[in-house]
């Protein structure tokens, strides 16, 4: 089984796909509460607990993690934010290595979207195109909304983790690891 992770210091998406592509698990792990999770280590501890639970429930044979951003884009994350995300991504990658006994594969979001066949229309946001692709292709994908009609926090993190897991499945098939 393939585990795909969209790692973030606020909400981490996790998806497990069977080797035939069936979605077996799709959740978001919320670590935004600064009182409960005041440091990266406390956040990593809850991720470790959730991953341990998954290891006990599923026979995970490969782990794929969305690679953290590697460069600046004007109007987006600061150097400190990029550094923090990169550190957390490294911590979670190491946790996966220790827990599952093999190295996780890091995939760039753009590469994963391309592998899965997600195409964005001119002017469309990549994240929106990715989300719409998951909604259109996965009837079991649950979408939940706030009272104001907005997507609830974690929905796009779950869809991003599905894209990473699906790209991971394609990666494994191409290497005949399935």
**pLDDT tens-digit map of 19-48:** 999 999 999 999 998 888 889 999 999 999
Q: Which of 12-21, 67-76, 135-144 has the highest mean pLDDT?
A: 12-21
The pLDDT value given to residue 72: 47
Q: With contact defined as beta carbons under 8 Å apart, do 50 and 16 qualify?
A: no
Q: For the residues 143-158, what does the mean pLDDT come to?
A: 91
**pLDDT tens-digit map of 66-103:** 997 654 455 556 777 778 888 999 999 999 999 999 99
Catalogue all structural domains in the chain, each as residue range(s) with its CATH number.
Answer: 2-174 (3.30.420.10)
This prediction has a pTM of: 0.90
Q: For the residues 112-137, what does the mean pLDDT come to?
A: 88
């Amino acid at each position: 089984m393939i585990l795909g992770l969209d790692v973030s210091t606020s909400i981490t998406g996790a998806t497990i796909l069977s080797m035939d592509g069936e979605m077996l698990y799709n959740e978001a792990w919320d670590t935004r509460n600064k009182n409960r999770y005041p440091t990266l280590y406390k956040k990593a501890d809850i991720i470790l607990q959730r991953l341990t639970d998954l290891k006990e429930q599923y026979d995970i044979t490969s782990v794929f993690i969305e690679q953290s951003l590697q460069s600046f884009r004007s109007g987006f994350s600061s150097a400190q934010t990029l550094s923090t995300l990169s550190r957390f991504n490294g911590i979670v990658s190491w946790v996966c290595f220790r827990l599952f006994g093999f190295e996780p594969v890091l995939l760039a979001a753009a590469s994963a979207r391309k592998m899965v066949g997600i195409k964005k229309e001119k002017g469309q946001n990549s994240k929106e195109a990715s989300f719409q692709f998951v909604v259109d292709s996965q009837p079991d994908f649950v979408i939940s909304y706030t009272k104001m009609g907005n997507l609830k926090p974690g929905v796009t993190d779950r869809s991003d983790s599905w894209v990473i897991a699906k790209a991971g499945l394609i990666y494994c098939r191409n290497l005949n690891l399935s």
